[in-house]
Amino acid sequence: MPTSTRTLLTGLAGTVLLATVVAGCSGLPTSQAGGTSSSGPSAPAPAASSAPADAPSPDPTTEPVRLEANVADDASKVAVDTRVEVEAAAGTVEKVKLRYQGVDAKGAATKGTVDGELSEDGTTWTAEDRLEPSATYTLSMTGANAADETTTRTTTFRTQKLTLAEQTFPSLYPLPDSKVGIGMPVVLTFDVPVEDRAAFEKNLHVTSKPAQEGSWSWLSSTQVRFRPEEYWKPGTQVTVRADLNGVDAGDGIYGQQSASTSFTVGRSLVTKVDLAKDVATVYRDGEKVRTIPVSGGKPGWETRSGTKLIMAKEFNKKMTNEMIGAEEDYTLVAKYALRITNSGEFLHSAPWNAGNLGRRNASHGCVGMSTADSQWLYENTLIGDPVVTTGTDRGLEQGNGYADWDISYKTFAKGSAL
């Protein structure tokens, strides 16, 4: 039977529909390179995602900062020479508070805080001072990690107990804000002997403006002194810090506290006493300003030759033979007296010896002069002004007053423990 036009169109439409369905099921385009149509199986459709196409991937969790101290929590009998340190890992130290309360060696209540210094990279905090004995400390540490998330830790500990006999107290001289002579040494004394002198000396600091080289020298286990290589320059400002609180002095002894002082050096004034000629000459800033007839110690009581320093000024000083063990019986009062040795040598007014002034040595070791001359010296000298005595065969003992300049700087520096 002949095929009708309707039948032909219907067949063509079915063919087109079939091709469209096949193409729609394919995971590939309807034609590929070369115009060949795909007839293979379809690829699985990709999984649907609810996130925007440009959303970032989530960051991993930032590690929290870890804070550690060099003293364990609830520790007891912590040595007082400990300097507390806090370290941060995976972050930085933000804030540290170190507080204490307790009792001192006399039983009095004490409390306070300890400041500290943060390292440049912020990972370490170090206390500026050591610890107090018989005290309970509270340490609060706060740090932050890279995400600026903070963490705080608090710890407590207790320090060792010390009696007064187990602590040594420092005393510094000259006193703060003093004006002294060009020869004045720094004198640091202790009430309990220091065994580990090197440990103490490492914590002694002297700064001067203008700067001058100098050295410490131990006179004994209870005294150490500092002097410059040459006399202090006039006008020099000196600051001294003895950071000895809690420092181990050896033999079970610790520094009881720190000390400091500052002083100014005055003009140069040097008195040269020539007992071969019985005359004293005074020089201010190198210029001669006064000549004084004097009388020194007689045979058997010779005045010591050497470089001494004025140690103290005394008014109406009573002098007796018992003070020096002289057999002669006397009681004298010197209106103006300048002490220059521990053993009892003075520059002083001696009107009772007027006939010998400038002529012969007739005293029991002191250098006597007129009341007018002694008053001038009293009013124009400073503690630490040098008195250089010559003309006798009797030498000056180290430790007898401020005899630090009677030896060379090289010899003096050998007394350092460092």
Distance of CA 279 to the CA centre of its chain: 46
Active site residue 348: yes
CB–CB of 227/212 below 8 Å? Answer: no
Closest CA to 185 of 202, 161, 206, 170: 206
Closest C-alpha among 357, 359, 360 to residue 372: 357
Q: What is the CATH number of the domain that holds 313?
A: 2.40.440.10
Could you list the beta-strand ranges (E) of 50-149. 66-69, 75-78, 85-89, 92-103, 109-114, 116-118, 124-127, 135-144
Are 228 and 320 contained in the same domain?
Answer: no
Q: Do the domain assignments include residue 35?
A: no
31 belongs to a structural domain: no
Classify residue 109: in a domain, yes or no. Answer: yes
Selected catalytic residue, list 25, 205, 348, 364: 348
Peptide bond into 174 cis (omega under 30): yes
How many domains, in total, are found in the chain?
3
Structure confidence at residue 56 (pLDDT): 52
Domain end residue (candidates: 218, 239, 266)? 266
Same structural domain for residues 291 and 241?
Answer: no
Q: Is residue 42 part of a domain?
A: no
CA-based diameter of the chain, in Å?
A: 178
Assigned domain for 2 exists? no
For the domain that residue 249 is a member of, what is the CATH number?
2.60.40.3710
The reported pLDDT for the residue numbered 108 is 86
- Domain termination residue (choose one: 216, 239, 266): 266
Domain-ending residue, one of 159, 178, 202: 159
pLDDT on residue 74: 96
User: Looking at the structure, do residues 177 and 124 belong to the same domain, yes or no?
Assistant: no
Claim to verify: residue 252 and residue 339 sit in the same structural domain:
no
Query: Tens place of pLDDT for every residue, the chain, 418 residues?
Result: 344 333 333 343 343 333 333 333 334 333 333 333 333 444 444 444 444 555 555 556 889 999 999 999 999 999 999 999 999 999 999 999 999 999 877 788 999 999 999 999 999 999 999 999 999 999 999 999 999 999 999 999 999 999 999 999 999 999 999 999 999 999 999 999 999 999 999 999 999 999 999 999 999 999 999 999 999 999 999 999 999 999 999 999 999 999 999 999 999 999 999 999 999 999 999 999 999 999 999 999 999 999 999 999 999 999 888 788 787 888 899 999 999 999 999 999 999 999 999 999 999 999 999 999 999 999 999 999 999 999 999 999 999 999 999 999 999 999 999 9
Q: Is residue 363 part of a domain?
A: yes
Reading across the β-sheet that carries 279-284, which strands appear in turn?
Answer: 287-293, 279-284, 269-274, 386-390, 306-309
Task: Looking at the structure, tell me whether residues 340 and 391 fall in a common domain.
Answer: yes
Query: CA dist 288 to 15, 24, 384, Å?
Result: 136, 123, 19
Q: Is residue 347 part of a domain?
A: yes
Question: Which one is catalytic: 25, 205, 364, 366?
Answer: 366
Q: Clarify whether residues 128 and 178 are in a common domain.
A: no
291 and 254 fall within a common domain: no
Considering the domain architecture, whether residues 276 and 262 belong to the same structural domain is answered as: no
Q: Are residues 297 and 400 in the same domain?
A: yes
As a whole number of Å, the end-to-end CA separation of the chain is 131
- Are 142 and 82 within one domain? yes
* pLDDT score at 330: 80
- The sheet with strand 109-114 has its strands ordered as 75-78, 150-159, 135-144, 92-103, 109-114
C-beta of residue 73 within 8 angstroms of C-beta of residue 83: no
111 and 151 in one domain?
A: yes
Which residues, other chains included, contact 282 with Cβ-Cβ below 8 Å and sequence gap of 6+? 269, 270, 271, 272, 288, 289, 290, 291, 292, 377, 380
Domain residue limits at 261: 165-266
Asked, for residue 121, whether it belongs to a domain, the answer is yes
Phi first, then psi: what are they for 289, rounded to 5°? -120, -15
366 is catalytic: yes
Strands, E assignment, 104-211: 109-114, 116-118, 124-127, 135-144, 150-159, 167-168, 170-173, 178-180, 186-190, 204-209
329 and 379 together in one domain: yes
Is the Cβ–Cβ distance between 174 and 180 less than 8 Å?
yes
What is the structure's pLDDT at 320?
A: 83
